[in-house]
Amino acid sequence: MSKAFNQYFSRYAESEVDVLMQFESLLPDDFSASNVVVIPAYNETSAFIERFLASSLSKTPVLMVVVINEPIVESLDEFLIEVSPDSLVAHSENMLSQNYNKQQELHNYSISCGTVSWKHDNLTLVKVDDNQAWLLVVDRFTQGIDKEQGVGLARKIGSDLSAYLISINKVKQQWICSSDADAYLPDDYFNALLSRNKKTAVCCFNFMHSSENESVHQANFLYETALRYYVAGLHYANSPYAFFTIGSTLAFTAEVYAQARGFPKRSAGEDFYLLNKLAKLGNVEFIENVIIKLEARTSQRVPFGTGPAVQKILDLQKNNQDYCYYHPDLFTLLKSTLNSFSNLWDYRNDLTSWFQQLPTIISPSLIEIGFESFVDKQKCNSKKQFDKQLVVWFDAFKTLKFIHSLRANHYQDIPLSLALSTAPFKCQ
């Protein structure tokens, strides 16, 4: 086992890995998989498991890690709704019970898909009947997840378990595939990872949202267009962080995942922050010709992301308001900034002169995100070291903060249709 794995499993992995390590010797002799995919599941039906087991993906040795999770509810107050005082407690308790029962139903279905061949603590390994698939079912609803850690912790548990199984060669391929219950995985999903460059640490599959509900479909199309517009703007600006950050479309190597210390425990944005870390450790590759279909749906399970964004768009449309997004000039300013970074080292002792080369509105936003402090700490480095640290420092998060600063002070959002028609770049 590599040093990166050893360090991660001993210091940073979740307790489920400890259970797996403790009872590893009792795993069935025939347990082996070529590929692994991790699916967090909260308030989901069994449809995604049925769909996966009916697909060609399950006809090869594959492991699906299903993390059935539920947020910890600290009090009934979190379930307050407009009901009479007399019925409030009873109604809230009923909601809690229904929610738990839904997770239990999914758990029961999962372990009924085949033969339970290994079970310890909250982990159950199932050998699926009539194909070569395995299910590793994780119960994180009996003991719920802190709502602040949400889906981030659920993904981390599943990915930690996957990384460990890869490290002991129970899963042969190095890739951990991260997806969701609303994803329809294509037949060439796993095969697409086999021919990647050795320097590639992360793959982002192409994606397409779809819904039978026309209004939801159109709202999701607008949101998807906005995502593609943002990444296209980053490409235009020559940002090294021009990639999609959708948790259901990612795959990453287990060792690099361990080096990055896993998914952050966040209720949303966990995919963005993980990818931001992974991109500093290896290449990010966009697999354009393999498309994951995502079920377009509204959701309030997370504070931001696709579900809430779609709901926002629907609300705007109901009130005949435009969906607005970043002004394209923001990406032109980002491009000017990144281009000017090429000679920043020469001006490291005279930032005032360097700022004078740029449009005047740029310097306050750079200063706001800590630019001067970075330069001061790195000014004694060689140019090679300086430029390398600059790329690490001005990462996806800093880029977003920079754009938001310029937006707040100079360029308000404009209708997405106008942004698309006036931008000096085209969406992918």
Please indicate, yes or no, if residue 427 is contained in any of the structural domains: no
Question: Do 115 and 253 belong to one domain?
Answer: yes
Please indicate, yes or no, if residue 295 is contained in any of the structural domains: no
Smallest CA-to-CA distance from 189 within 48, 57, 51 is with: 57
Question: Do 342 and 260 belong to one domain?
Answer: no
Question: Do 254 and 374 belong to one domain?
Answer: no
How far is residue 426's CA from residue 428's CA, in Å, rounded to a whole number?
7
Question: Do 262 and 400 belong to one domain?
Answer: no
How far is residue 366's CA from residue 382's CA, in Å, rounded to a whole number?
22
Q: Which residues contact 65 (CB under 8 A, 6 or more apart)?
A: 36, 37, 38, 39, 135, 136, 138, 158, 161, 162
Please indicate, yes or no, if residue 237 is contained in any of the structural domains: no
Q: Which residues contact 264 (CB under 8 A, 6 or more apart)?
A: 152, 156, 270, 273, 274
15, 106 Cβ separation under 8 angstroms: no
359, 336 Cβ separation under 8 angstroms: yes
Smallest CA-to-CA distance from 215 within 323, 321, 315, 322 is with: 315
Question: Do 275 and 379 belong to one domain?
Answer: no
Phi, psi of 98 (to 5 degrees): -60, -40
Question: Do 200 and 139 belong to one domain?
Answer: yes
Positive or negative, the Cα torsion across 171, 172, 174, 176? negative
Give the H or E element holding residue 134.
strand 133-145
Q: What is the pLDDT along the chain (428 residues), one digit of tens a residue?
A: 799 999 999 999 999 999 999 999 999 999 999 999 999 999 999 999 999 999 999 999 999 999 999 998 654 444 444 444 554 445 445 545 566 799 999 999 999 999 999 999 999 999 999 889 999 999 999 999 998 999 999 999 999 999 999 999 999 999 999 999 999 999 999 999 998 888 999 999 999 988 888 888 888 889 999 999 999 999 999 999 999 999 999 999 999 999 999 999 998 899 999 999 999 999 999 999 999 999 876 555 444 567 788 888 888 888 889 999 999 999 999 999 999 999 999 999 999 999 999 999 999 999 999 999 999 999 999 999 999 999 999 999 999 999 999 999 999 999 999 999 999 999 86
Q: Please give the tally of structural domains in the chain.
A: 2
Q: What is the DSSP letter of 33?
A: B
Question: Do 275 and 407 belong to one domain?
Answer: no
Question: Do 45 and 171 belong to one domain?
Answer: yes
Question: Residue 364 belongs to what domain range?
Answer: 329-412
Phi, psi of 189 (to 5 degrees): -55, -55
Please indicate, yes or no, if residue 145 is contained in any of the structural domains: yes
90: domain CATH number? 3.90.550
Question: Do 145 and 21 belong to one domain?
Answer: yes
Question: Do 283 and 336 belong to one domain?
Answer: no
Question: Do 387 and 252 belong to one domain?
Answer: no
Question: Do 271 and 336 belong to one domain?
Answer: no
How far is residue 329's CA from residue 392's CA, in Å, rounded to a whole number?
24
Phi, psi of 357 (to 5 degrees): -75, -15
Q: Please provide the size of the chain in residues.
A: 428
Please indicate, yes or no, if residue 297 is contained in any of the structural domains: no
- Among 255, 271, 287, the domain boundary falls at 287
Please indicate, yes or no, if residue 67 is contained in any of the structural domains: yes
217, 296 Cβ separation under 8 angstroms: yes
